[in-house]
Structure 1
Amino acid sequence: MKLRQLNIMVVIMLCLSLVPVTAFANSVAVSINAIGSVAQGGNVDISGTSALDEVIIKVLRPDNSVVFYTIAPVSEGKFSSSFTLAGRETTGTYKVVAGQADQVGTLNFNVTAASTGGTGGSVPIGTIETPGAGKPITPPTSNASPVTVDTSKNVVSSETASNGRAATIVKQEDAALADALAKAAKQDNHGDAPIVFIAYDNPAGETVQFNLSSAVLAAAVTGAPNTIISLQTNDGEYSLPLSIIDFAAIAQSLGAASTGVSIQVTIAAAGADLDAEIKKNALGISTSQLGKAIEFTITAAGNGKSVELNQFGSVYVERNVVLAAPADVAHTTVVLYDPLTGKFSFVPAVFEKQADGSMKITFKRNGNSIYAVLSSTKSFNDISKHWAKADIELLASKLVVNGVTDSSFAPNNQITRSEFAALLVRSLGLSLDAASADFTDVKSSDWFAGAVGAAVKAKLVDGFSDKSFKPNDTITREQMAVMIARAITAAGIASNAAGESNDSLAPFNDKASISGWAQTAVAQAVEAKIITGMTEDTFFPSANATRAQAVVMLKRLMQYAHFIN
């Protein structure tokens, strides 16, 4: 009997020894392949096997904040994914977590310091990088080092965004946001605004809405009112200055306590239908679209209500996108697209070629909308030998100046008050506003009504005591200087020319003929090298300017304001 039992046990053991280990996969649902050490800025390749249909992959930094997150499908028992580390990523031991619920596998790997030899690999202070592609994105004039917000406790869901489109909603955890804001405010930002950075690694083209606590942001403003929240996806980046948000007024308008209000920033690549519409309308004005259009919106929500935030006064909010291929800066421009009219208008933008050959575009405007990048080459028959040919073609290609006809610019014609107002409005990227043009000699049907109204609203121009604007009068050089000085202020640039007018005007023998009301403005324009004398020692304040002269002044103004390269 005992011998029979022993024989049965031997048979069972032999059978078990022939059963593959994968038959017990329930206890080991995920296995991750080993990962070697990875240098800062390097690629991390994650792969493994699993009995699940799909696995959630998270990679944690040494401080347990999330550096990478994705959902990978499992095909024939295998899964894989990869991402690129930031050039300034923390060194140390990172953890990969893959699986679902309690069926997970983990693996550690090391991130080492990048080599400092040679000419590449380093990332300048103040640079942050896109979540997936490693493209540097930062306000180009900032020396502040962005503080990365811990996103490990964020809640991510799929819902309908504030713009009505299906989107991934990223709710930033309040405590982590408050901690990052406090750290950014306390550190040495080298004289620039504190910046905190939140990124979401979305599939390209997927709409992302970041939800931030209004109460947390309002608290940060009390100690550091110029703080910037940099929100970034793989489609674009939005630098949100907290100074543009009136938190108390928003809460009151929504009838909600500040703790119940959410500031929602949406970054959405244009859908196929809208992109096709933009391409078609671009061809209609002899331009072509580069890349995909993108839309940015800010909404405040609370108490079951919402309000869109879209008027930022003289604060120009920066956004960043990256073109995969280089572009000719002189013939490339960012535009606002109006889907109601199908028309485009210039948006201030600076182009920067990156080490990998791509083109980073930093554009800014005092409102939100749909934006596209266009390539255009424009010239006129009557400027082929004109001294201002290059500047006229530059601003015409950027949709800032128009000809008197499609083929003629009339460069030597004297420019009128309405024409110069229109040029300033376009160069600042302002929206037309015919309703604000309340003058007896400006009709709503006039081509310049919207531009004059926008100029009045931005405090670029004034009318006369008889409530007229005199749109067809020629404009003098000192009048232009006043409008340019006001445009500099409208662009958010401070000036100290008021205390230096005597020095700036000293070279001009006719400085006494400059009207008292224009002297400070002329000094500011001369100091900024936007307007020069007619000769080395004469300014001729009452002389009229030509259309070509106005274009040259406008180009200098835009470069001074960093509105073009």
Structure 2
Amino acid sequence: MRKYMAAILALVIMLMPASVFAASSFTLDLSVEEVQRGGQLTLSGEVADESDDVVVKIVSPNQTILYIDVIPAANGAYSQTVTIPQTEDLAPTGQYTVIAGNGSLTESGTFTIPAKGSGTNPAPTPTPTPTPTAPTNNNSGPVIDSDKIPPNAGQANGAKIQPEPAKDGRYLAGRDVIAEAARQANGSVTIELPATASESGAALEFPAKSLTELSDQGTDLIIVSGNRTVRFPAGSLPGSVDSSARIHIVVQAAWNNEAKAWVEQSLRSQSDYASTGVVLSVVIQLISGDSIKEIHQLDKPAVVTIALTSEQAQLISADLAGVYYADGKSVEYVPGILKNGQFTFSADHFSYFTILQYSKTFVDLVGHWAGASVKSLAAKQIVNGVDNNHYAPGRSITRAEFVALMMRALEYSGSQATVQGATGVFTDVPADRYFTEHVINASALGIITGYEGKFRPNDQITREEAVVALNRAADYFHLTASGQGQPAFADAGSISVWAKEAVESAWNYGLIQGDGKKFNPGQAVTRAEIAVMVERLLKSSSL
């Protein structure tokens, strides 16, 4: 009987779906302990939560990122094969660390790329000590060679800290020094790394407990290295009360072979994009003893600023450039602004960010008077074509399309206009359309109004309706009047009473010009006309 029951149980287990046995823990397995350049390594394991993808990163011996990817899980498991680069520049000799994350769980492992000419299974090569170019540092104190961070490491000057260099290339900021800067802070503490740190990939380390203390005080942490600045709002990073735990941050800005290969791989055959050679990657780890927790997702978005050099500013087109997240397979646009030679954007996670130029060409805009405006807005992801090759400049635009475009422009501008708790107010705006949230937010900001409780999303928007909304939106762009006086349209008498003041204001801001003689208030506005108006709005903004 016992043998019979065992057989029945075995049969039931075989017939049950694999998902029933989804792993209760997260694992990472590496197919080999040693791999030659040009060879392959398979990463695999079980996932604890199949609803979360697996984030995998391979860190080279010199602490740069060899590989990073997001791997989807299936039936409680994941697997990915990675081809190791063939050149020593991209894959130097030594021990590599593989870090995988699934939800809040992290696992790590190591493999080795042996020196050229070594045996088939030589002893693992120890991780070499990084030897970056000696950084400049105004602190003349002793260099430190220990995982422990002395409380007085670094030097505080007001709310700014100059960290102290260790022999292994790290930069250290001690708890007492951070506390001293926090006492003099007005909302933020800044740690200033040498510019060479972001070029060489040198790490910054400080006590995790200090991060907790800054968060409790509501004090932001700003890290500066050369022309890269990352502002972490209080509470955006997890701290720790463990006095031995430390935060390890690497800000990498070098356009090296690895970065170039990664961006090119992300772009593949996307010919409309051109690389600028400007990149930023940030690696964040919480280290406690032998435990290393990779921090991918931030609890609050960080604000990142990339300042262009004078040479970069001359080569990069402000009209076509934007920030993109590159994942090795594709690129994703990140809303941000370029002002005074600085790109500023928000990041709720960190990996590779790069500045690309997007020059989209539509066949029906060649030689068109609105071509430059459309290309500029397309690069900012504010307008799209009706298909991949056509923009349809002469086509009229609906009220829903107009509002969606205006709100994308407002988001791009970095305006501080916010909408909290806004709800639907129009009976003819469904809850699941692409324009729904835009209409709700525009209404809450006073940019648009309806007609007896209706928005009429599919109606064509007239020129005077568009200008009224444009003028209301201008309040959030802080425009300055051009001083060109009042418009002298031959058909001024045809402009509706409720639109006259807005038309005059838009004219004075330089947002409209008419056709040279008339304003044509009741005529449907075209996709070409609205693109030109919105581009003028962005260029006139003082934000």
TM-score normalised according to structure 1 size: 0.48
Find the structure with the greater CA-based Rg.
Answer: 1
TM-score (norm 2): 0.50
